[in-house]
Amino acid sequence: MADNEDSTVTESLRFTALFEAEVLTRLLLDHWDHPSARSTEYAQELLERAAEILRQSVRGIAFIQNVQPSDMNLIAAVWYVEWSAVTNDASSDPNGQRREWLKAIRRTFPSCFCDPNELI
């Protein structure tokens, strides 16, 4: 469990239970042109897997270089789930659209992928 009950990862995990987390996931897919953006089922599965990454982060498991488990957030968790899927099965992205989405998310939200203390 994270040392601080108010850590980013703890708050992000709580957020996944809200309808707004579904909206954010759908917006991330749609606005940045993910090839499965129109699939409600895809978005729901992505959110569920991101919530699992957040649960594991709460337990102290790190997934992204330069992001401590306590600093993991929903956007980074969604990104990590998609990155992991593409990395483990290159055939799932024959046109490179998923990789382009991954690049766009990191470029748009760089603060989600670093130590928050570096932002000060």
Tens-binned pLDDT, residue by residue, of the chain (120 aa): 445 567 999 999 999 999 999 999 999 999 999 999 999 999 999 999 999 999 999 999 999 999 999 999 999 999 999 999 999 998 999 999 999 999 999 999 999 998 877 776
The Cβ-side half-sphere exposure at 74, using a 13 Å CA radius, reads 21
What is residue 115's predicted lDDT score, i.e. its pLDDT? 80
Say what the pTM is. 0.92
Pairwise CA distance, residues 8 & 4, whole Å: 9
The answer to whether 7 and 71 have CB atoms below 8 angstroms apart is yes
What is residue 112's predicted lDDT score, i.e. its pLDDT? 95
What is residue 120's predicted lDDT score, i.e. its pLDDT? 63
Residue whose entry in the numeric block shows the structure tokens 């996931």: 25
Residue (of 111, 104, 114, 80) closest to 27 by Cα position: 104
SS3 content of the chain, % helix, strand, coil (to 5): 70, 0, 30
Residue (of 25, 73, 72, 76) closest to 48 by Cα position: 25
Pairwise CA distance, residues 20 & 95, whole Å: 30
Tell me the backbone φ, ψ of residue 70, rounded to 5 degrees. -70, -15
What is residue 117's predicted lDDT score, i.e. its pLDDT? 75
What is residue 116's predicted lDDT score, i.e. its pLDDT? 77
What is residue 118's predicted lDDT score, i.e. its pLDDT? 75
